[in-house]
A and B are shown apart, each in its own frame.
Chain A
Amino acid sequence: MSSGGSDELIYEAKLSVLNRVDGSAQLSISSRKDLDEGELGIICSITGPIESKARQESPQQSNLEISVMPHIGVASTREKLLEYKLKLVLDRVIDSFEYPRQLIQIVLQILNKPNYEDDTTIGSDDMNDFFSLNDLNGCLISTYLALIDSGISMKSSFLSSCCIINSNNQLTTDFNKNDLINSKSAHLIVYDLRNGKCNNLIYSESIGEFDEQIFFKNVLDKCKKEIENLNTKVIKNCITEKFKNDYIWKA
């Protein structure tokens, strides 16, 4: 288990947690400020490349099948939308022409969510559920780790980060459910990495009221910093540890 992170968030990651699939990773993200909040926990498994059903087969490239399971209950349209967004990113990074007529199955299970109350009062929506940026962020990082574990060819490395602009116009990556609901805007940014530095913008999603200048000056810089931090402090250690374990008999 590798852990570390920035001033605001603690990431814990572990590779090869499941032994009957080709690649797997477990990730948890928690706030450094408020440890009682709980953590966002996600486990990801990857099977593939395997033989695909004739219906799913494409002649020149591999096909992706992504399923996201919520932490309570069964998958709904909310998870369908998450799967769709994940696919937009993964289609770009997975080297699908390397595995023609094959299938890659990615299953993500959300294990726990921070500050989640099972609110069943009539007429009260759990707004947290409709801000899916945090979940998507966790899903993307854990999928990246699981892809590395599975040894599937990728065109580039990628990592994501999430931040909000709160009502005091402060930009922060550490936020809880209430901060998110009361925020002016919330942003999810995915970059591809080259030599440990953020290179090109792969995906971004911003909700709420904001202007272009703030997005390009402040939001992107903050997220780039967070992503590079995450890469050097957690991801690299995690991968080094995996390779050490893989070659344990060699020395």
Chain B
Amino acid sequence: MSEGNGQEEMGSIRFPAEILSVVAPDLSLKRHLDLGLRPCLRKFHEFKNLTLNVKSGLSRYDGDVDGESVTDSPVLGSSVIKSGNTTVICGITGGIVEIANVSTTTTSDDHDDSMEYTSIYPVVEISRGKLNGAPTDEEMILSQQLYETLLHSKILPKKSLIIDNIALKTNDDTNNNNNNRKRYAFVLYANIQVFSREGPLFDYCYGSLVKSLQTVKLPFIHFTDEEFIINDNRKNGGNVKPEIICDSEAYNQLKINEENINWSLTFGLVNNDDGKETIILCDLEGHAEETCCKSLINVIIDKNLKMRYLNIVGGDENVIIDENIVLKTVQLAKNRVNNILN
């Protein structure tokens, strides 16, 4: 600026691509699309490279990994997904709860097949380089979405979590109180850590959750001999609580419904300049794509390439979502899932 003549010289400002994508995400996306590329330099239908690791050595029954045994680990199953800069680590831990008696479960009126499935309680933590505070909205929404999606996918049958292999010691010789016996079941929790957040987070979290679930090994349970006394009629005081010990070597593989194993994929829809053609973008990544693609399609496809979930968000009024676009997206998803799962 020159003070002398009172006029301002307006020069153009140049931003590097990554700064422009934050300052003006819509402009950045448009300029890339005009070149036939995306801000992450992938092609429109190109998926992100994905590395899956289910032998991460974090789990209790993984055996010796690098000479170190992890038999005291509470983790029952784990997996690590890496894609681009993003790393998602999922560890599944468990707890034991008392469940309703056999007699009441079987005579229940509501008894039917669909209620025989359950889910995992997931907690997602996205690392942002600061001390962990209360969970953010994004983390809560992701956790709840994971819970509901897994439940509706019918992957985890309730009966696989019921503990039926405990060595019991009873003080009742007649054994006639079998129906009143307390029963126990596992509940599973998943702790999902996300580092370098980027890309379609739900897809990666869901993928790591399903992959970890396939590796879950439930511990063999011992109730300490002297203390575990089945004592429902409370003859002897009734306050004796069993002490639960999980075996460090013996385990049972968790039985899951392998047929229903599925994979989630998210696509973004944008309109190019003349508004005639809708472009499908696979695996949205980066600030420009995440903020500007308001029309989204999320598809979950199972092993047999059947659709299990479809979510269409038409957030952008310039993008008209018709049958062709959805069918094209579903076909892209099916091809990708076929590569990943089969």
User: Is residue A127 contacting chain B, with contact meaning CB distance below 8 A?
Assistant: yes
User: Is residue B17 contacting chain A, with contact meaning CB distance below 8 A?
Assistant: no
Q: Which of B137, B307, B309 contacts A84 (CB 8 A)?
A: B137
User: Is residue B140 contacting chain A, with contact meaning CB distance below 8 A?
Assistant: yes
Complex CA gap A182/B154 in Å reads 12
Q: Select from chain A the residue with minimum beta-carbon distance to B110.
A: A178
Task: Name the segment of B38-46, B141-149, B205-213, B228-236 touching the other chain.
Answer: B141-149
Q: Which residues of A contact B323 (CB under 8 A)?
A: 216
User: Is residue B152 contacting chain A, with contact meaning CB distance below 8 A?
Assistant: yes
Complex CA gap A181/B114 in Å reads 6
Complex CA gap A208/B148 in Å reads 12
CB distance from A214 to the nearest CB of B (A): 10
Q: Select from chain B the residue with minimum beta-carbon distance to A82.
A: B144
Q: Which residues of B contact A97 (CB under 8 A)?
A: none
Q: Which of B98, B112, B143, B308 contacts A182 (CB 8 A)?
A: B112
Interface string of B113-148 (1 = CB under 8 A from A): 111001000000000000000000100110111011
| A106-128 with Cβ < 8 A to chain B | 121-125, 127
CB distance from B153 to the nearest CB of A (A): 9
Q: Which of A123, A125, A156, A205 contacts B310 (CB 8 A)?
A: A205
Would you call the interface of chain B mostly helix, strand, loop, or mixed?
Answer: mixed
Central interface residue in B185, B306, B313, by most chain A CB within 10 Å = B313
Task: Name the segment of A7-15, A73-81, A223-231 touching the other chain.
Answer: A73-81
Q: Which of B97, B140, B316, B321 contacts A77 (CB 8 A)?
A: B140
Q: Which residues of B contact A208 (CB under 8 A)?
A: 152, 308-309
Whether B309 lies near A122 (C-beta < 8 A) is no
Complex CA gap A163/B100 in Å reads 33
Complex CA gap A77/B321 in Å reads 30
Other 5 A-B pairs with CB < 8 A, given A78-B144, A92-B315: A81-B148, A123-B185, A130-B152, A202-B314, A205-B312
The 8 closest A-B pairs by CB, nearest first: A123-B99, A77-B144, A81-B144, A204-B312, A206-B310, A207-B152, A202-B314, A77-B140
Residues in chain B within 8 A of chain A (CB atoms): 97-100, 104, 110, 112-115, 118, 137, 140-141, 143-145, 147-148, 151-152, 185, 294, 306-317, 320-321, 323, 326-327, 330
Residues in chain A within 8 A of chain B (CB atoms): 77-78, 80-81, 84, 88, 91-92, 121-125, 127, 130, 132, 155-156, 178, 181-182, 200-212, 215-216
Chain A to chain B contacts (Cβ below 8 Å), 23 pairs: A77-B143, A92-B315, A92-B316, A121-B100, A122-B98, A123-B99, A127-B114, A181-B112, A182-B114, A200-B314, A200-B321, A201-B312, A201-B321, A202-B314, A204-B311, A205-B310, A205-B312, A206-B309, A206-B311, A209-B306, A209-B307, A212-B330, A216-B323
